[in-house]
Amino acid sequence: MFERDLSLGDILEPARGNLATVVTGVRRCGKTYRLYQEMHRIVEAGYPQESILYFNFEDERLKPYTPQLLSDVVEAFFSLRPRAQRDGAFFFFDEIQEVPEWGTFLRRMVDTRKATIFVTGSSSKMLSANLASEFRGRALSRELFPVTYNFLRTLTAG
């Protein structure tokens, strides 16, 4: 495996008001893998693995999606990991655009939870214009592109 070429910035200590990091890109470009890399980086930096929640909303067993699903996931995590609620948590929500009212939920999370939040979504469903209006200054958007031939060449040249 190789490190993807998209910087998500410095690791932010979980806190209220942290900007959410939104990773968008075309299908199958590596958004989920980039989240896995970031989770690994957080653990390597010394944060407890128990403070990390990864949740993929593409799982068909979750249908029909309801807005309450998002809150239920977070509350279940905190009931299993009360220390994460007290000390702060890292949330990784993959393909969150599948759930209705996800923008409202994330705004509330950013404003009220001691957390660092990462979300992914397909470019077509999370256009930058929509993100700007959904989050009103509460998120940083990063776009991940498919691996290019030149990038692969740099990996094999090493």
- Read off the pLDDT band of 141 (50, 70, 90): confident
Asked whether residue 4 is assigned to any structural domain, the reply reads no
pLDDT digits (tens, 9 = 90+) for 12-49: 899 999 989 988 888 777 889 889 999 999 999 999 99
Residue 89 is part of which domain span?
20-157
Residue 13 lies in a domain: no
Q: pTM above the 0.75 mark?
A: yes
- Look up the CATH number of the domain holding residue 142: 3.40.50.300
Please report whether residue 89 resides in a domain.
Answer: yes
List phi, psi (to 5°) of 44. Answer: -60, -30
Is it the case that residue 148 has pLDDT exceeding 70? no
Residue 144 lies in a domain: yes
Kindly report the average pLDDT of the chain as a whole number. Answer: 84
| Residue pair 91/59 in contact by the 8 Å Cβ criterion | no
Confirm whether 68 is domain-assigned: yes
d(CA 10, CA 156): 27
Q: What is the pLDDT of residue 152?
A: 59
Q: How confident is the model at residue 86 (pLDDT cuts 50, 70, 90)?
A: very high
Higher pLDDT, 156 or 96: 96
| Number of domains observed in the structure of the chain | 1
